[in-house]
Amino acid sequence: MIERLVRSLRQSSDSDADADSGRPLRSDGGERLNEPRSSSELRSDGGERPGGVDAAESGLGRPDETGPESESTLGSIRRSEFVQSIPFWLPGFLLVGAFVYGAIGWNFLISLTDWSGLGDPDYTNLSLDTYVQLLRDGAFHNATWNTIVLMVAFTGVSLIVGLLLAILMDREIRFGNGFRTIYLLPMSLSFVVTAIFWKWMYNASDGVINVTLEAIGLGAIAPNWLGDPRFKLWAVVIALIWQFSGYCMIVYLAALRAIPDDHYEAARVDGATTLRLYRRVIIPQLRAATMGATVVLVVFALKAFDFIYVIYGGSQPGPSADILGIMMYREAFAGTPEWAYGSAVAMVLFVLALAVIAPYAFAQYRRGDL
Amino acid sequence: MSNARPSTEETAESRFDKLNYRRIGLYGLLGAVAVLFLVPLVSGLMTSLKGGNAFATTLPFVPPSPDVATLEPWSTAFSRLGGAMINSAAVAIPATVFSALFGSMTAYGLTKIDWRGQLVVVVLLLAAVFIPYQAVLVPLRQGWTMVGLEHTLELIPVVGDALAARTGLFELIVTHTAYGIPICTVLFRSYYQKLNDEILEAARLDGAPERRVYRRIVLPLSVPMFAVTLIYQFTQIWNDFLIALVLLNSPENFVVTLELNALAGSMQSMYNVQMAGAFLAALPTLLVYIAFGEQFAKGATV
């Protein structure tokens, strides 16, 4: 996806060369414009094949490659292509439909009942009462606030750290691969594993952080990271930044490498300082990469459940580290279940995720990258 | 890498006086960050090699002295996590393969069709990549309870009972396959869009049905993308905690993330055992990452 983002970025920077750099008609039009050698030439070859490829024959190929002359029969060809493609995508799509969209729909339905989880839910008496209750719930306000703080801090800092690392790495350096391997390494670990490591890092008396603070004479300010309400959420944020800023670096590095050299040179010739060069020329061109990485990070932030659950020993981290994901699990699965209530919290979480994904998907669509 | 990028390739007059300082600063900075990134892992590793209470009395990131060095925490952790690692493998391997296969097929079906509604399917699959799992947990649990696999399997003679005891794992395989399909489809779709069409057309002109085109031509050409997808999916499924937490009830079916959490809960102050356990649980994904770092990065940047 990032690869495509990068390509479309390059395309938009060359847009004066392409007459129709707007929304391509075909979903993969973006590819075509950039790779005339590999596909469009071959396409015209196909049309001129000796023996006269008529509409029916070329209908065996991709419909968009039949050219305008076969417009009249295009409808039926498309239909047969469509029918032939069904066995390929329908099974997977049905599974996703059931497990994702069906489940979300069902979850919404459950959130409209007053089901506790015992017996069967009563689907005949639906109301928004649960949501009204939720809006009055102080624990919900608190969890929402923590979720937003976590999301913004984690996403923002990870992006900045990732960008700075990428800028440093975007040149010929020795051991470049070694550095990259180390930076990306934490991302291969599960939240559960990182939570175990960081529980030791944060240990109040023997953990690495406080031992180091003491060693440099700052023992007096060494906090009880996992016990003090002021630090509980930030302990999570720091660990998540550690885990995912390497990912941001990889995304930005790919985007930086796609920027043509002459952009740097032109700015240099104009006498731009390095700072100005990045602010005015480079960073604006990284918008697509930033957007893609932000979406991924926000979703990870909403999933931070695993980390908090493990590092705080269950679904009761206390109000200062309570996030919506934890609250949802607690309401639905821990102690006395309140499935309707848990489902309502889950819907709020889903809407939050949607609020981030929708602009991204829309931008992708406008670029013709869907 | 051959790009002329700022600051190392300065203008001629500043090159001589700035180059060395810049280089030293650059490597110093990169190295310092690398050390910061490694601290949790290194201190975890060192802690896991210290016996008794030595981990609490020595500095965490300092290697164990010979008199306290021991592999005992590792063997303790392994005796707890071994079975769970087998369960994880039993879930992750089939679910990885199935989701990659479904993803490849779905992507093939979606790159070769051209109809108005195609975009709807693609958008729905793309959005499904980013769905927070919390939004589906209650229906997931309720749905599997209603399907009642456990009792259905008990009706099968001979093997039924054994299968029924592992139903949680079967449900996990199906669930992970379903949730893996969107990302696999996206990965394969971007790959298939770049695929040279000529050879496919040639086969079609020869009268090959789509399934033969797919099996004989597209599948063999997809090997590099399968590598990326399998690595990415295996890591994701092996690392899953939340879905397993909701679907698995009996401890003998626990996957490794659940068992590691249980171990951390029952060995509160035994940090050396916890660290060894964390490394054991991470071992397969660490090995995959070290062996296939390039492909892992490719999957991660999607």
Nearest to A320 by CA among A308, A328, A304, A303: A308
A250 touches chain B (CB under 8 A): yes
* pLDDT more than 70, % of chain B: 93
What is the reported pLDDT for A155?
96
Q: Indicate the helix (H) or strand (E) that contains A211.
A: helix A208-215
**What ipTM does the predicted assembly reach?**
0.88
pLDDT at A11 > cutoff 50: no
pLDDT at A15 > cutoff 80: no
CB A226, CB A204: distance < 8 Å: yes
pLDDT digits (tens, 9 = 90+) for A141-177: 999 999 999 999 999 999 999 999 999 998 888 888 8
State the Cα–Cα distance between residues A331 and A340, nearest whole angstrom: 9
Domains of chain B, by residue range, sit at: 21-56, 73-301
Mean pLDDT value of segment A102-128: 89
Length of chain A in terms of residues written: 370
What is the reported pLDDT for A283?
84
Residue B7, Cβ neighbours under 10 Å: how many? 17
Tell me which of A173 and B235 has the higher pLDDT: B235
At A71, the pLDDT band (50, 70, 90 cuts) reads very low
Torsions phi, psi for B138 (to 5 deg): -60, -50
CB B129, CB B182: distance < 8 Å: yes
* Residues 6 or more apart whose Cβ sits within 8 Å of residue A328: A342, A345, A346, A349, B134, B137
Residue window 56-115, chain A: list those with CB within 8 Å of chain B. 57, 60-65, 78, 81-82, 84-93, 95-104, 106-107, 110
Q: Which of B111, B138, B260, B274 is best to mutate for the A interface (most A CBs within 10 A)?
A: B138
At A328, the pLDDT band (50, 70, 90 cuts) reads very high
Q: What is the DSSP letter of B58?
A: S
CB B121, CB B110: distance < 8 Å: yes
Measured in angstroms, the CA of A230 and the nearest CA of chain B are apart by 22
What is the reported pLDDT for B21?
81
Q: Name the CATH architecture for the domain at B73-301.
A: Orthogonal Bundle (1.10)
Write out chain A residues lying below 8 Å of B190, CB-based. Answer: 1, 3-4
Tell me which of A368 and A263 has the higher pLDDT: A263
Instruction: Quote the mean pLDDT of chain A.
Output: 80
Report which listed range, A52-56, A137-141, A274-278, B131-135, is most confident: A137-141
State the Cα–Cα distance between residues B121 and B110, nearest whole angstrom: 8
What is the reported pLDDT for A131?
95
Q: Which of A57, A71, A90, A96 is best to mutate for the B interface (most B CBs within 10 A)?
A: A96
Check B125 against A93: CB less than 8 A apart: yes
Measured in angstroms, the CA of A181 and the nearest CA of chain B are apart by 7
Would you call A133 exposed, middle or buried from its count of C-beta atoms within 10 A (0-12, 13-18, 19+)? middle
Length of chain B in terms of residues written: 302
State the Cα–Cα distance between residues B151 and B171, nearest whole angstrom: 14
Check B122 against A370: CB less than 8 A apart: yes
What is the reported pLDDT for A222?
85
Q: Which of A130, A160, A172, A189 is best to mutate for the B interface (most B CBs within 10 A)?
A: A189
Nearest to B124 among A101, A180, A208 (CB): A101
Check B271 against A200: CB less than 8 A apart: yes
Residue A284, Cβ neighbours under 10 Å: how many? 9
At A73, the pLDDT band (50, 70, 90 cuts) reads low
Q: Quote the tokens at residue B248.
A: 């698995």
pLDDT digits (tens, 9 = 90+) for B117-169: 788 888 889 889 888 999 999 999 999 988 877 777 777 777 777 777 777 88
Mean pLDDT value of segment B38-56: 90
Write out chain A residues lying below 8 Å of B175, CB-based. Answer: 99
pLDDT at A34 > cutoff 50: no
What is the reported pLDDT for B230?
94
Mean pLDDT value of segment B104-110: 92
Q: B69 forms bridges with which residues in the sheet?
A: B50
CB B198, CB B65: distance < 8 Å: no
Please compute, for residue B88, the number of CA atoms within 13 A of its CA located in the half-sphere on the CB side: 27
Q: Quote the tokens at residue A111.
A: 């959130």
pLDDT at B44 > cutoff 80: yes
**Which three-class secondary structure state does DSSP give residue B69?**
strand
Nearest to A200 among B2, B47, B282 (CB): B47
Question: CATH number of the domain at A138-367, out of 1.10.3720.10, 3.65.10.10, 2.60.40.10, 1.10.599.10?
Answer: 1.10.3720.10
* Residues 6 or more apart whose Cβ sits within 8 Å of residue A205: B56
Degrees to nearest 5, angle at CA B246 with B243 and B248: 95
Would you call A101 exposed, middle or buried from its count of C-beta atoms within 10 A (0-12, 13-18, 19+)? middle
Instruction: Quote the mean pLDDT of chain B.
Output: 86
State the Cα–Cα distance between residues A185 and B28, nearest whole angstrom: 20
pLDDT at B218 > cutoff 50: yes
Nearest CA in chain B to A104: B136
A122 touches chain B (CB under 8 A): no
A217 touches chain B (CB under 8 A): no
At B18, the pLDDT band (50, 70, 90 cuts) reads low
What is the reported pLDDT for A221?
84
Domains of chain A, by residue range, sit at: 138-367
A353 touches chain B (CB under 8 A): yes
Residue A117, Cβ neighbours under 10 Å: how many? 19
pLDDT at B48 > cutoff 80: yes
* pLDDT more than 90, % of chain A: 45
Nearest CA in chain A to B266: A313
State the Cα–Cα distance between residues A45 and A163, nearest whole angstrom: 44
State the Cα–Cα distance between residues A257 and A249, nearest whole angstrom: 12
What is the reported pLDDT for B302?
60
What is the reported pLDDT for B17?
53
What is the reported pLDDT for A29?
37
Mean pLDDT value of segment B1-16: 48
Residue A301, Cβ neighbours under 10 Å: how many? 28
Check A310 against B39: CB less than 8 A apart: no
pLDDT digits (tens, 9 = 90+) for A329-363: 999 998 888 999 999 999 999 999 988 888 887 88
CB B152, CB A121: distance < 8 Å: no
* Residues 6 or more apart whose Cβ sits within 8 Å of residue A171: B3, B5, B7, B8
What is the reported pLDDT for B210?
85
Q: Quote the tokens at residue B224.
A: 């590099």
What is the reported pLDDT for B32?
93
pLDDT digits (tens, 9 = 90+) for A209-266: 988 888 888 888 888 999 999 999 999 999 999 999 999 999 999 999 888 888 878 8
Nearest CA in chain A to B3: A261
